[in-house]
Amino acid sequence: MDHSDEASQRSQMPSILVTGASGFVGRAVCEQALALGMKVRVSYRSSSSLPRLTGETEKIQIPFINDVTDWSHAFAGIDVVVHLAARVHMVSDKGTQSLSLYREVNTAGTEHLARSAVASGVKRLVFVSTVKVNGEQTGYRPFEEEDPPRPEGAYAISKWESEEALNRIAAETGLGIVVLRPPLVYGQGVGANFLRLLGLIRSGIPLPLASVSNRRSLIYVKNLSDAILKCAVHSCASPRTYLVCDEQSVSTPELIEHIASLMGLRVRTFSCPPRLLNLAGELLGKSAEVARLLQSLVIDDRRIQSEIGWTPPYSLLEGLRETIDWYLATRQVNSRT
């Protein structure tokens, strides 16, 4: 390709606004969008939350997200909004008060953002939801988009209500809506339970998970960002909902084995009856975390593959290798300080 063709392709790329750009997924989306030649604008809450990116972006401060947020300056000249900002799932959040807090940001805030985008002439909105809308575990078959929603907990309920609001807006206004429901996301910068699992494996503490026979779908953060940007530029029908995941699902013991191998460690697991593990989770107040290690959650992503031709560019092992490289590098830096 000569320079004139490359410049022409870049000029045809949409201008995008990424909310939640300082987050784990947001940074990956911005980096890939910049590499593709897109004009990227990011929203941030405060100067301390400005995303650190390798390319030039426009930045606009949005201190809060709810049903009165002023988006008027954020959407000027924007073709596509990638909406990642959200009140994220917290195990400690419980009760009806918690649900109202999630709804304020995730449901009312998302609906207001979408209607503001329509008023500003935005053509498409890509919304990252969660597979938790489908439910917390699968049985005899994988989750599909047509399955009846079974969200559990405030976070999942607020995300499902966000999806319903966006579908209504698409029907009323013609705004192009694409909803993505990913499972657990891992990669460089990962936190929460996946980061704790990496620490446990590195510590060499034997884990009582050898007899677990589940299957889990995961998604590498660069695979998810690739799917997001594919939906941003593809002329797929609207509204559409897609489940997205890595090509390969994995059992908990297999995941531990892969991680240990990439760390250059010997796998240290032993068998323990699942009922005892569940009991231990209840006694320690960690039932949800234990359930994710024991239960299956498998996704069928054939719809996004057939309708827009997306397939994950990275394999599970490639994603895990980059994640482990990042993890070990950060631990070496921390050990010197």
Dihedral angle computed from the Cα positions of residues 136, 140, 144 and 149, in that order, rounded to the nearest 10 degrees: -40
How far CA 310 is from CA of 66, 219, 249, 298, in Å, comes to 32, 14, 17, 18
Q: Which residues contact 184 (CB under 8 A, 6 or more apart)?
A: 193, 194, 216, 218, 219, 292
Using CA atoms, how far apart are residues 337 and 324, in angstroms rounded to an integer?
A: 20
With contact defined as beta carbons under 8 Å apart, do 78 and 17 qualify? yes
With contact defined as beta carbons under 8 Å apart, do 114 and 169 qualify? yes
Using CA atoms, how far apart are residues 221 and 27, in angstroms rounded to an integer?
A: 10
Other Cβ atoms closer than 10 A to 200: 15
Which one is catalytic: 44, 155, 186, 314? 155
Burial 112-122 (b: 16+ CB within 10 A, else e): bbbbbbbebeb
Using CA atoms, how far apart are residues 171 and 253, in angstroms rounded to an integer?
A: 45
What's the chain's Rg over C-alpha atoms? 20
With contact defined as beta carbons under 8 Å apart, do 29 and 84 qualify? yes
Is 102 catalytic? The answer is: no
Burial 147-163 (b: 16+ CB within 10 A, else e): eebebebbbbbbbbbbb
Using CA atoms, how far apart are residues 290 and 204, in angstroms rounded to an integer?
A: 19
How far CA 305 is from CA of 112, 170, 189, in Å, comes to 31, 23, 27
Q: What is the set of active-site residues? A: 155
